[in-house]
Chains A and B, each alone.
Chain A
Amino acid sequence: MKLELRGITKKFGDFTANDSIDLVVEPGTVHALLGENGAGKSTLMNVLFGLYDADGGEILLDDEPTVFAGPGDAMAAGIGMVHQHFMLVPVFTVAESVMLGHEEVTGPAKLLDLGAARAKVKEISDRFGFHIDPDAVIEDLSVGAQQRVEIIKALSRDAEVLILDEPTAVLTPQETDELLDIIGQLRDNGTAVVLITHKLREVKAIADQITVIRRGKVVGTAEPTASQEELASLMVGRDVSMTVSKEPAQPGEPMLVVEGLSVVDPATSLKHLDRVSFEVRAGEILAVAGVQGNGQTELAEAILGIVPTAEGAVTLDGSRLTGSSIREALDAGIGFVPEDRTEDGVVADFTITNNLILDLYDKAPYSKAGAIDTAFAAKNAKEQVERFDVRTTSSEALAGSLSGGNQQKVVLARELARDLKLLIASQPTRGLDVGSIEFVHKRIIEERDNGAAVLIVSSELEEVYALADRIAVMYHGKIVDIVPPDTDRDTLGLMMAGAHEEEAA
């Protein structure tokens, strides 16, 4: 089935998320929709899927204009969508999840025909080699398997157009490769696939056509043969360097020493972190790689003391941190960039000025005789905004009004304002545009060169490669191994699935 979008416009208040976008997807092809976070890719697909009403434009299926009142209509017309955040009920079985919304019933009482649903799941699973048990409960499945359930869901409805929204964000490199294989199979079966992504590697690997979107507009199309640099500059609108240059590390004395650290979930008694030991030297960046949810977040938080540790010890520059308060840890010279910047990094309803002194407000020179020296805070804010290139109309603007990249710059400016012995940064560039990523990476490397130990937690391998002097891979709450930064992608990927280095190489 051929899908065509003509002049799709979608506005949220004054903000135009999609500005008369045209797109044609032919059957049996993979069409990549490339753009940065916030460029309007997902909005466009939600319009197509009937989740949003368009303010203008039309959708044509096989050249027939079509109107979708809701996702039900879109699915009936043969459009399937795999959402970035899976649309699966955690407590349902696979069969129940797949049948939901178009259930078959049987018998005089018209009860659910679970047998038919099971058979359907099994048939599709076998056809593509998915290895999905129809009776497995969704929440017990790995993320990769849940995604395959989503694909089964779409295929069980005979989807002829399949939209995949950032499908690889949560996958290991191996799972990503498997998914790309599946997409290839679907294409060969005649399905039109729309792949929404900001990852250039995948686009080059699988796409037949590429449409680049920036700030809600189509800014160009490209062939898959185009280089990553070309695609990136189309996406960002200016030339960007894909790698930040950095000098080799000059590691000094061990600064952070972690010994046998464990973190236990109080509700379920499960171990998030299982006897983790490692050290980070001054002037070195240790990047923790791993698929999300394998204990990295807890590791970063446990070092600072946000989550209580069950056993083990953390030592910073020779003095013990375990058991000290967060305030004491910060005063000892730890800078912390949290994973979720909008929730934990900034106070959205505070001004930039106040966000910049969240951890310093009670210390001279920010505080004078027990009150905040507002004049000094304002002066400080002005300098920091300039130094970190925070794009804002005024340092008195609310932090919540800033874009993600600029919020992250505020967090970094605040954390780097003190003399640090250790910088911990969780997912420091998640959701940032390519330009901001470059900036954040430069600052982190600068901090290393100033002699701080740096611990980075990132689920993006590109970022790990860009920053790491050594790479620690985590799996199921343990550090699988610590390897040099030139370890290849496949080996890292296997380690992220739990294999040790010798086995993986």
Chain B
Amino acid sequence: MSATTVDTATPDAAASGDVLRTKSWKGPIGLGAVALISLLVFGIGTPSGADTTFSVATSSDFVHLPTLTIASKLAAIVLSVIALALAGYSAYLANQYRKPGLWLPIVYGMAVMGALLSWAGAGRDNTSIQVTGLLTSSLFLAVPLIFGALAGTLCERSGIVNIAIEGQLLAGAFFAALMASMVGNAYVGLIAAPLAGALVGAVLAIFATKYWVNQIVVGVVLNMLVIGLTSFFFSTVMSDNPDLNRSLGLAALPIPLLSSIPVLGPVLFDQNLLVYTMYVVVIVFQIMLFKSRWGLRVRAVGEHPKAADTVGIKVNRTRVRNTILGGAIAGLGGAFFTVASGLAFGKEMTAGKGYIALAAMILGRWSPRGALAAALLFGFADALRVQLGIIGSDIPSQFLAMFPYLATIFAVAGLVGHSRPPAAEGIPYKK
């Protein structure tokens, strides 16, 4: 029996390889359906002859851009048709077993959003759609989601499910307000917030790795605990001493030159220190998680802890460290609600943002870059709701508020492919 016999005896099934593959139509169908709705509602539904005004100019621009007024109906129809064409292209790709690149959902999303805005702003002569303002508030509203989703990513990549992001945000918000008020300097809040979040993370880590308690249960309990504690101190200590809960704000620090770029400049580079920190944190962890020794080990621990253990990596130590680090990052995100927004602490002021951050983590497929993109999408939807409220839209704002979560469900179900969490997440490592 010679070795060559094995080679020539390649079986049919293996030679033709993937004959068993099936075509995935979920994505194209979803995209097509939404584009069609866009065409019917925003395109056909817009009254003829109405105009929509987009204004992009702000006073700080060097280059003055005029406001843009377009025929609403035409714009909505053209944009909807573009979206429909993209859906068709993705169907063409699916027919050839291929997946569209990242550009497709982005361009598609912009087209549908444009159609929506054209329709919503149609015939409102006194107001215009503030593009710069819309983008700025998108980014601003996304900040806590980005920190939260990043925290979730760091924990889950090491195998710990962190449902306690909500609690970590709230603890960060509370402690930032308290410490900043005591010292009288908002920047102190940026140091205090991660400490509070790390503390919540540490409790989660200990229960998850030392006592093997169900991580979701511990997370939910921690959220309740933080809500209880902060509400208690808010209505006792803080209300007795208003000096301990002052509205201090971080000043915007425009970056010279960069902040003068039209449209994007004021959006990205006229922000406060917390937002700049967010840029750095996302970039650093994107590189660290996928290109560094630390990242490789963390991912190994989250995927196959026993394999990591057999090459001398301390599984539970890695998990504890990551969970505390994740807690600190979520805590820092909590500072957004108080010192970075110039507000005093309020009861349950995080209002479920921690859970939305978890959705952003899943939509972003457990990567810092993806978390950023998903959080921005959610932030945009939130900002859009506010914007449409201002110009007086016909859509009930609750429906707009629902939109990003509908999008998440669709996206997770098919558009971005099968989303795959770290294999060992939520499972305690016992030797």
Contact = CB atoms under 8 A, between A and B. Distances in A.
Contact of A100 (B5, B8, B287, B297): B297
B431 interface: yes
Given A476-B11, A498-B10, A498-B14, A102 B311 contact: yes
B312 A72 contact: yes
A480 B9 contact: no
Contacts of B11: 475-476, 480, 497-499
A330 interface: no
Nearest to A105: B293
A375 interface: no
Given A89-B303, A498-B10, A110 B293 contact: yes
Contacts of A130: none
B296 A269 contact: no
A334 B77 CA distance: 63
A28 to B, nearest CB: 25
A494 B11 CA distance: 10
B312 A75 contact: yes
Contacts of A504: 5, 9
Given A88-B307, A91-B303, A490-B1, A112 B296 contact: yes
B1 A100 contact: no
A98 to B, nearest CB: 10
Nearest to B302: A89
Nearest to A69: B312
Contacts of B307: 86-89, 100
Given A71-B311, A89-B303, A100-B308, A478 B296 contact: no
Interface string A62-91: 000000001111011000010100111111
Contact of B310 (A87, A111, A490, A494): A87
A222 interface: no
Given A75-B311, A112-B296, A490-B1, A478 B8 contact: no
B313 interface: yes
B1 A270 contact: no
B13 A478 contact: yes
B20 A270 contact: yes
A350 interface: no
A81 B312 CA distance: 12
A96 B292 CA distance: 11
B6 interface: yes
Interface string A476-497: 1110100000000010001001
Residue among A86, A89, A109 with max Cβ neighbours from chain B (10 Å)? A89
Nearest to A76: B312
Given A89-B303, A174-B6, A490-B1, A476 B310 contact: no
Contacts, number: 118
A67 to B, nearest CB: 15
A87 B304 contact: yes
B300 interface: yes
A110 B292 contact: yes
A281 B62 CA distance: 89
Contact of A269 (B8, B22, B312): B22
Contacts of B304: 87-90
A100 B13 contact: no
Given A49-B310, A71-B311, A72-B312, A100 B296 contact: yes
Interface residues of A, number: 48
B412 interface: no
Contact of A477 (B13, B287, B310, B312): B13
A477 B293 CA distance: 40
A80 to B, nearest CB: 10
A144 to B, nearest CB: 11
Contact of B311 (A101, A174, A497, A498): A101
B124 interface: no
Nearest to B304: A89
B353 interface: no
Contacts of A200: none
A382 B293 CA distance: 60
Given A110-B293, A490-B1, A497 B310 contact: no
A96 B296 contact: yes
A51 B292 contact: no
B182 to A, nearest CB: 38
A388 interface: no
Main secondary structure of the interface of A (DSSP, over half): loop
A102 B307 CA distance: 13
A497 B14 CA distance: 10
Contacts of A490: 1
A271 interface: yes
Contacts of A271: 20
Given A87-B304, A498-B13, A81 B310 contact: yes
Contact of B312 (A71, A83, A105): A71
A26 to B, nearest CB: 25
Residue among B306, B307, B423 with max Cβ neighbours from chain A (10 Å)? B307
Contacts of B420: 91
A87 B308 CA distance: 8
A71 B308 CA distance: 10
B430 interface: no
B61 interface: no
Interface string A144-185: 000000000100000000000000000000100000000000
A129 to B, nearest CB: 10
B423 A111 contact: no
A17 interface: no
A105 B291 CA distance: 10
Contacts of A498: 9-14
A99 interface: yes
A89 B297 CA distance: 11
Contacts of B348: none
Contacts of B313: 72, 100-101
Contacts of B311: 71-72, 75, 87, 100-102, 153
Contacts of B300: 89, 92, 100
A433 interface: no
Interface in A18-51: 49, 51
B296 A476 contact: no
A289 to B, nearest CB: 15
Contacts of A102: 311
A438 interface: no
Given A51-B310, A75-B311, A92-B300, A494 B6 contact: yes
Nearest to A75: B312
B246 interface: no
Nearest to B9: A499
Nearest to A153: B311
B25 to A, nearest CB: 12
A166 to B, nearest CB: 16
Contacts of A72: 311-313
A386 interface: no
A503 interface: yes
Given A51-B431, A87-B304, A112 B299 contact: no
Given A87-B304, A110-B292, A476 B1 contact: no
Contact of B9 (A86, A87, A497): A497
A75 B310 CA distance: 9
Contacts of B5: 494, 499, 503-504
The 8 tightest CB contacts between A and B, nearest first, are A72-B312, A498-B11, A101-B311, A499-B9, A87-B307, A269-B22, A476-B13, A103-B293
Given A101-B311, A498-B12, 14 more contacts: A51-B310, A71-B309, A89-B304, A90-B303, A91-B299, A96-B296, A100-B296, A100-B307, A111-B291, A269-B20, A270-B21, A476-B13, A494-B1, A499-B5
10 contacts: A92-B299, A92-B303, A109-B292, A111-B292, A112-B291, A475-B11, A476-B11, A477-B13, A494-B6, A498-B14
